[in-house]
A and B are shown apart, each in its own frame.
Chain A
Amino acid sequence: MSKVRVLVGTRKGAFVLTGDGKRKDWQVDGPHFAGWEIYHVKGSPADPNRIFASQTSGWFGQIIQRSDDGGKTWQPPGSRPEDLVGPEGMLKGESNKFVYEGHVGTHKWYDGTQHPWEFKRIWHLEPSLTDPETVYAGAEDAAIFKTTDGGKTWHELSGLRNAKGHLWQPGAGGMAVHTIILHPKNPKRIFIAISAAGAFRSDDGGETWRPINRGLKSQFELPDPDAEVGHCVHRIAMHPSRPDVLFMQKHWDVLRTNDAGDMWNEVSGNLPSDFGFPIDVHAHEPETIYVVPIKSDSEHYPPDGKLRVYRSRTGGNEWEPLTKGLPQKDCYVNVLRDAMAIDSLQPCGVYFGTTGGQVYLSADSGDSWNPIVRDLPAVLSVEVQTLP
């Protein structure tokens, strides 16, 4: 029977939630890396027992951890099993060297001056769809790194900064590559999104990039309606059967493109608020999408204290609230951009984590919800693996 493994990154560690095929009985393992911020945990589609985690700290910087046994044990990539044997055995891994390459230059700062690029952390890890040794990592300050040796060494795909990097300016949440989407058939095509800079596409495997932000409107932040960069994209999502169709949750507005980002159109429709962070696509219905409306960028909690996922079965514009099992009063949590995931069972399961430490599951594609856990630290990211 199939099962699911939910990988949860929180402010104080990582948790692995393992559920049976019915998604009723759950085992909770963790915290792993207790006390560290775990921005993202994601498994390799090519080898589901290989899982990567971004472990970070304001004191001690960035660590990349890897598990090769489905999250039971972890170590920084680079240590061999024999390195760990005996009283003198120790980790040899040095998986945290993220160094910007070439002439790094500067980006725009809050006061309009130019500011040097400074590596802070890895927000998002995107393992290759076909090679368990290859992973892309999205960094703050905005950059994309790649490993081809299972996470031991990383090098920057520095061509990204040529996409008007000097004009990018951090928002209140920083300036990070938080979304990386790999094309399911064309390994040369990669989409990324950067908060307060926009969405970008590479058609040569990450060597060169161009902004794909036509149609985005950010009238208060960017008075120039033709601005190529500077849009605060919160998340983009794709269904693998239609890789030219992308959905976007922007700072304000929900949008879609039918041509791989060449032009976007707003599909916010009847949402109670078009501000939010995550957006995701149903596993089996590429026109069915999910968002979690948040009242505003000043308040960062759901409208009216009601936690509602909104589902559109028409690819946007027409939305229905999904409330069964979710708190409908006095709820003031947020759902962050990397904290929603969808499994591929029938019917597909939808998962999201909150800043209040709950991880909710709908095992019926959003019709009803139950918490898997209620009291974790604030959830930063949720991923799910559907396992045989």
Chain B
Amino acid sequence: MIRVVLPFHLRTLARVDGEVQVEVQSPVTVHSVIDALEARYPVLRGTIRDHVTLKRRPFVRFFACKEDLSLEPPETPLPDAIVSGAEPFLIVGAMAGG
């Protein structure tokens, strides 16, 4: 199972607490994790990436093992620690304000 940490507003939207877990077939990529997430939580469709183009929304960022993967191709395999469940995949709302 892949552990996913959602930002506060998406947790309240999906009505979940803490981390969520999704089953993802290999290869585990940003794209396949979000596919699984959207299949499990349909209310999240369109909130992380565009419905049609599947492009990441501009102010949503992806992190794995302290690395920012937001600009990596979505088919890039995620680190083993994510695949094994040792580390969570983080979906983060970009910082606003100042």
Binding site for B on A (CB under 8 A): 34-36, 57-63, 76, 78-79, 90-94, 96-97, 99
Contact = CB atoms under 8 A, between A and B. Distances in A.
B86 interface: no
Interface of B: 7-10, 12-15, 40-43, 45-48, 51-52, 57, 59-60, 93-94, 96
A60 B51 contact: no
Contacts of B12: 34
Q: Is the interface of B mostly helix, strand, loop or mixed?
A: loop
A217 to B, nearest CB: 39
Given A35-B9, A59-B93, A99-B52, A90 B57 contact: no
14 contacts: A58-B96, A60-B10, A61-B46, A61-B57, A76-B43, A79-B43, A90-B14, A90-B43, A91-B15, A92-B43, A93-B42, A94-B42, A96-B51, A99-B51
A2 to B, nearest CB: 35
B9 A96 contact: no
A59 to B, nearest CB: 4
Contact of B9 (A60, A93, A94, A97): A60
Contacts of A93: 42-43
Contacts of A92: 42-43
Contact of B13 (A63, A79, A97, A99): A63
B48 A60 contact: yes
A94 B40 CA distance: 12
A40 to B, nearest CB: 18
Contacts of A62: 46
Contacts of A57: 9
A96 B42 contact: no
Q: Which of A34, A35, A59 has the most chain B CB atoms inside 10 A of its CB?
A: A59
B43 to A, nearest CB: 4
Q: Is the interface of A mostly helix, strand, loop or mixed?
A: loop
A380 to B, nearest CB: 18
Nearest to A58: B59
Contacts of A36: 9
A59 B94 contact: yes
Contact of A90 (B7, B15, B46, B47): B15
A78 B43 CA distance: 9
B14 A94 contact: no
Given A59-B93, A59-B94, A63-B47, A90 B41 contact: yes
**Nearest 4 CB-CB pairings of A with B:** A60-B47, A91-B43, A59-B59, A59-B93
Given A60-B13, A60-B93, 15 more contacts: A34-B12, A59-B59, A59-B96, A60-B47, A60-B60, A61-B46, A90-B14, A90-B15, A93-B43, A94-B46, A96-B45, A96-B47, A97-B45, A97-B46, A99-B51
Contact of A91 (B7, B8, B41): B41
A76 B12 CA distance: 12
B60 A59 contact: yes
Contacts of B59: 58-59
B16 to A, nearest CB: 8
Q: Which of B7, B51, B93 has the most chain A CB atoms inside 10 A of its CB?
A: B51
Contacts of A76: 43
Contacts of A99: 51-52
Nearest to B42: A94
Nearest to A99: B52
Contacts of B40: 90
A90 to B, nearest CB: 6
Nearest to B94: A59
Nearest to B93: A59
Contact of B45 (A58, A59, A79, A94): A94
Contacts of B14: 90-91
Q: Which of A57, A62, A92 has the most chain B CB atoms inside 10 A of its CB?
A: A57
Nearest to A65: B13
A90 B46 CA distance: 17
Contacts of A35: 8-9
A234 to B, nearest CB: 28
Contacts of B96: 58-59
Nearest to A89: B15
Contact of B43 (A34, A58, A59, A94): A94
Contacts of A90: 14-15, 40-41, 43
A76 B8 CA distance: 18
